[in-house]
Structure 1
């Protein structure tokens, strides 16, 4: 019997739709975990800047140490915003079904706060 002549199970379409919904929910949650990972990476850049500044505090080239620390601060800020933008792009392509996503406003607020904190850290490091 050809495939087109096989009887259709009415529940099979419902199961396929449910599986698709679950897959989208898993992707939404993975997107949030990825956002959190990017935030951690950005904060690690700021921590590395602090560590470099502490280690090379008494170097013969203090301006070089400060400049390199500032590069890590800037990298952290860029990572914060890349994470927020990429997360938003993924959220607009996905539909949540059984999970509730973090709002883009909350992610933007977090990126803004971390940017302010990183920039403040950079200013403090420059003047120490």
Structure 2
């Protein structure tokens, strides 16, 4: 094998490894956005629980709902970005994340956030009985 062929093979190997690292980075970024979505859900629930007695009475629900909807946007946005990036890459040495699984995770988190937002509006007021 000539020196040029060896250099070409090394460059190809480095490119493949870089693509694999990028796939793993996309997966970590998706997980980070899912954590952010869960944090927004937690903030919304905590806000409603701690500040449920704001005046006017619906204000705490509106703010909590905004956090819940933001969580849904984070989840769906993360899924779209991850799937768009993963379709452009080919795994070489690593297992690429399963795109349908990413979709299920994201849509489940988004649906959960929306259901919680609805539940906040339908739930009886904490401590008032009505």
Q: TM-score, normalised by structure 2?
A: 0.89
Q: Which of the numbers 76, 79, 87 marks the counterpart of 1:84?
A: 79
Q: Note the C-alpha offset of 1:8.
A: 3.9
Structure number, greater radius of gyration: 1
TM-score (norm 1): 0.90
The aligned residue for residue 63 of structure 1 is 58
CA distance in 1, matches of 2:103, 2:5: 43
Aligned ranges for residues 26-37 of structure 1 at < 5 Å? 26-37=21-32
CA RMSD in angstroms comes to 1.2
Specify every segment of 5 or more residues in structure 2 that has no aligned partner in the other structure, as ranges.
124-130
Give runs of ≥4 in structure 1 deviating > 6 Å: none
Of Structure 1 and Structure 2, the greater helix share is in 1
- How far the C-alpha of 1:99 sits from its partner, in A, is 0.5
CA deviations 1:44-98 (Å, max 9, x no partner) are: 1111100110111122222111011111111000110100000011111111100
